[in-house]
Amino acid sequence: MKFFIDTANLDQIREANDLGVLDGVTTNPSLMAKEGIRGQNNILKHYVDICNIVEGDVSAEVIAVDFEGMIREGELLAELHPQIVVKIPMIKDGIKAIKYFSNKGIKTNCTLVFSPGQALLAAKAGATYVSPFLGRLDDVSTDGIALIEQIVFIYNNYEFETQVLAASIRGPLHIIKCAEVGADVATCPLQSILDLLKHPLTDSGLAKFLSDAAKV
Ligand code: G3P
């Protein structure tokens, strides 16, 4: 399973990349705003800065919600850097835009996916990635992991090449569950990745090894 980091914070991207386990980055307009990145030129430069830190795919989201606008923005984003993946919302014009970009060989990430039917449409349109938001489903008492599992099952039935990119991850258990059900990618906050490191028996075991080593 690939690990992406879900942030626009350059320090966090560097920290995850330095761990050596990072395969890519996802951003969205909320994450860009959180970092105070505003204005088209600053936003475009920020995407290039991210691409210069990591080696893998970097999802950059369009703001337009009409077909022509998404094509215009998506082409601008795709020209920025070969690592850019155009992130497009799961709406009717979004599906048309994904098909358009797919025909042109431009990678896409279909975002805001909350149902298996939406995921099926994204795959039919040729999306490179589909992003089901599992944490936001959990927030409304719906089983987010069950959706990931359902999408993986459907895609395997028909050998769709679209990769299941589990998004809206809230903690390390989400990452483990995604791995169990076969998600291709988990995009995570840095803390959720770091939390995978934690086990009290590792800490106490290491403390004992170090104290014993000091005796000899
Ligand atoms: O990037 C999309 C997704 O990961 C958002 O997560 O935490 O805002 O639900 P969250």
Ligand 1 binding pocket includes 187 (Cβ within 6 Å)? yes
Overall pTM > 0.85: yes
Are 170 and 153 contacting, i.e. CB atoms less than 8 angstroms apart? no
pLDDT for the residue 216 = 86
CA–CA distance from 55 to each of 4, 140, 152, 179, 199 (Å)?
A: 11, 35, 26, 22, 30
Which atom belonging to ligand 1 lies closest to the Cα atom of 139?
9
Ligand 1 binding pocket includes 2 (Cβ within 6 Å)? no
pLDDT by residue (tens digit) across 158-202? 999 999 999 999 999 999 999 999 999 999 999 999 999 999 999
CA neighbours closer than 13 Å in the CB half-sphere of residue 94: 24
pLDDT by residue (tens digit) across 29-66? 999 999 999 999 999 999 999 999 999 999 999 999 99
CA–CA distance from 151 to each of 88, 110, 132, 140, 195 (Å)?
A: 18, 13, 9, 19, 26
pLDDT by residue (tens digit) across 59-106? 999 999 999 999 999 999 999 999 999 999 999 999 999 999 999 999
Indicate the top mutation candidate among 4, 6, 147, 188 to test ligand 1's pocket, ranked by most ligand atoms within 8 A of CB: 6
Question: Ligand 1 centre from 79 Cα, in Å?
Answer: 25
Which atom belonging to ligand 1 lies closest to the Cα atom of 131?
2
Spatial separation of the C-alpha atoms in residues 63 and 209, rounded to whole Å? 54
